[in-house]
Amino acid sequence: MRGYKRHGHPLRAIYRLNIMDKSDYISIIMFDFITLVPRMNLHFLRTIIAISQYPTFVAAGEALGLSHSAVSVHVKALEQELQIVLVDRKRRPPVLTDKGIALVEHAKRIMEITDEIKALASEKTLIGSLTLGVVPSSLVNLVPPALAMLRKAHPRLHLQIRADLSQELTQQVRNRDIDAAIVTAPGQPLEGLRVQSICHEPLNIIAPATAPETSARDLLSAHPFIWFNRRTWAGQQIERHLLDQRIHVRPVLEVDSLEAIEALVRNGIGVSIAPRRACAPPYPDDLKVMALGSPQIHRELVLIDRVNNPRSRLSDALLQALMTTLADFAAPQGSLRASQQGNQRGNSLHKDPVHD
């Protein structure tokens, strides 16, 4: 190869060449590409991904364990390397430009490949990151012990959790914003996604213990009704059942939190219908609990991820941890639930409904 002189940035290199043949030209281009790659720091790419996920540089830095100034340095280094503007600093707070958004998509794919390469080092220990979406009602009892179990078994696994409604989480999985999600199963198939069942949670009517009514229809018609958020798939399932059964209710509130619903009912504000959460403690004695429907209606919790997801091993490990958590919760209570089941057979009115 003859000598050459390069001017400007690697991505905009201009060469003065004394080319003897085409192979010289190809060698020069390959040389420039190879020298560029090591400077494309993976930490910088993780930073630009975090900026896309959090509202401010400060929040993105906190998620990564970086200072605000370190985040700014990473962004500036990428901009200098690529010779493009990634962040619009005229906006407050700064936001990604179109090219910055495009870079985020490429960076996500690079991170996926990097995590898969790291995972090749061990078949027993999982390495990499998993961004998991969870419906808020599952963040209280079921998910925390399962995540603790997963972290203990795989200490090099990095977990990020987002709470949102099932519909939003499902779209985030499709958009590759998150890797997997624990959601309520919808009434229709989820095309293009892998769906794995976790458990079924029974839907119950809950009322103050002093309520005299003994049938579901009378109980729901006689008292003000507290909706479980109808933007949730569980809330929509409840609404469909009431419409199908032609049960008229008198709405007084619509609430996101199952804990808030129980507190409102306990204090006599009204009655409600809500799922009996997996791994939850028994209902308190000051609540009357009645099964919804005969046979009882359930909501199904499922774990979803993309078909051919490169992090499928991580999702499968999470599912196993969830199933182990459910089994551990059920084991010491088996004889108690069997006794309750025998005492309550043929009567849908009970204090502590059986877990599925």
- pLDDT, mean of residues 241-260: 93
SS3 content of the chain, % helix, strand, coil (to 5): 45, 20, 30
Tens digits of residue pLDDT in 56-72: 999 999 989 999 999 99
Residue 35 binned pLDDT confidence (cut-offs 50, 70, 90): very low
b/e sequence 212-251, b meaning 16+ C-beta within 10 Å: ebeebeebbeebebbbbbeebbbbbbbeeebeeeeeebee
Span of 8-17, 60-69, 244-253, 295-304 with lowest mean pLDDT: 8-17
Residue 237 binned pLDDT confidence (cut-offs 50, 70, 90): very high
Residue 40 binned pLDDT confidence (cut-offs 50, 70, 90): low
Query: Tell me, what's the pLDDT at 116?
Result: 66
Q: Round the average pLDDT of the chain to a whole number and report it.
A: 81
Distance, in Å, from the CA atom of 112 to the CA atom of 310, rounded to the nearest integer, reads 7
Name the segment(s) of the chain with CATH classification 3.40.190.290.
Answer: 125-356
- Spell out the alpha helix ranges (H) of the chain: 22-36, 42-53, 57-64, 68-82, 98-119, 143-153, 166-174, 216-222, 233-244, 258-266, 312-330, 334-344
Query: Tell me, what's the pLDDT at 34?
Result: 38
Query: Tell me, what's the pLDDT at 162?
Result: 93
Query: Tell me, what's the pLDDT at 242?
Result: 95
Task: Give the residue with greater pLDDT, 14 vs 221.
Answer: 221
Residue 122 binned pLDDT confidence (cut-offs 50, 70, 90): low
- pLDDT, mean of residues 210-233: 94
Query: Tell me, what's the pLDDT at 157?
Result: 82
- pLDDT, mean of residues 264-291: 94
Span of 127-136, 176-185, 263-272 with lowest mean pLDDT: 127-136
Helix (H, G, I), strand (E, B) or coil at 46: helix
Distance, in Å, from the CA atom of 326 to the CA atom of 333, rounded to the nearest integer, reads 11
| pLDDT beyond 50 at 348 | no
Task: Give the residue with greater pLDDT, 222 vs 121.
Answer: 222
Helix axes 166-174, 233-244, angle to 10 degrees: 130
Residue 227 binned pLDDT confidence (cut-offs 50, 70, 90): very high
- pLDDT, mean of residues 19-44: 49
Q: What CATH code is assigned to 125-356? A: 3.40.190.290
Residue count of the chain:
356
| pLDDT beyond 70 at 118 | no
| pLDDT beyond 80 at 271 | yes
Give percent above pLDDT 70 in the chain.
78
